Structure 1
Amino acid sequence: MPMDIDRESLIIAAQEASARAYAPYSRFHVGAALAFDDGTVITAANVENASYGLSLCAETVAVSQAMALGWRGQLVAVAVVGGTPDDGGVAIPGAAPVTPCGRCRQVLNELAALGGTDPVIHCVGAEEVLDLRLSDLLPRAFGPANLG
């Protein structure tokens, strides 16, 4: 991870992002923070929709934002925080650490594969943080190399 982005700072950035969640249906706020090798951090929150299948996870929103800004690879770390919001909308992590869903694992893999990285994913819970490599969460992933 870049010298100026430590694990705790990335987790705090994800937690702060969770306050921007639009989650009127589940009331489960999720924040994600993506760290790039130059120290850039991009954050996002989940966005629900009355048509539930159209809802977007925080990780997917963050990757979409990163791609829109021109990022292709260089992803070194991700923090994911989720839980019931406090009065300010910030997620209070539940007992179990929150891991990216299957779609988000695939979306993160696409971005990471473009730079040949295997980012660490900090999955935050109330009592522990799991630090897992993306390849552990999505073994034998399908990516850009499979199409060439």
Structure 2
Amino acid sequence: MAKHGPALAQHHAHHAIHEGARSGAIQKTDELVTLLKQGEIEAAKMAADDLIEYWQTRVIAHADTEESGFYQEMVKEKPELKEAVIELARDHEILRILLRDIQQLIQEHGITSDVMMKFHALIAVNEIHSREEEKTLFDDER
């Protein structure tokens, strides 16, 4: 089992990771929307690639880290969290599926309204996931 950094186990630090990733995703998504509105198609393609990479390196990498040890440690400490942790891991899988869908849609059709809808869905699902994760795993620290 991989050992996670101490930030994952501290509510305030974990929250800061979530907020930083969320604000960056929103900013980059807004930049993509602006480029599309301005008709800057080539710049928008580069921005979409950057946004996909951002989701992979910031959010999905964080999810992978949580799943590779942190969640198991939480369940070991509090077995009653087992079902909640399964649900949280499913949220991560939904984020991965949305990201794969976005990549496939862009490859096949370019940056369409469906792509943008899915980028916004990533933000919404991640925001709900982060809130529920913090409430479930750190509720005793409030």
Name the TM-score, length of structure 2 as normaliser: 0.26
More strand by share: 1
More helix by share: 2
Q: Which structure has the greater CA radius of gyration?
A: 2
Name the TM-score, length of structure 1 as normaliser: 0.25
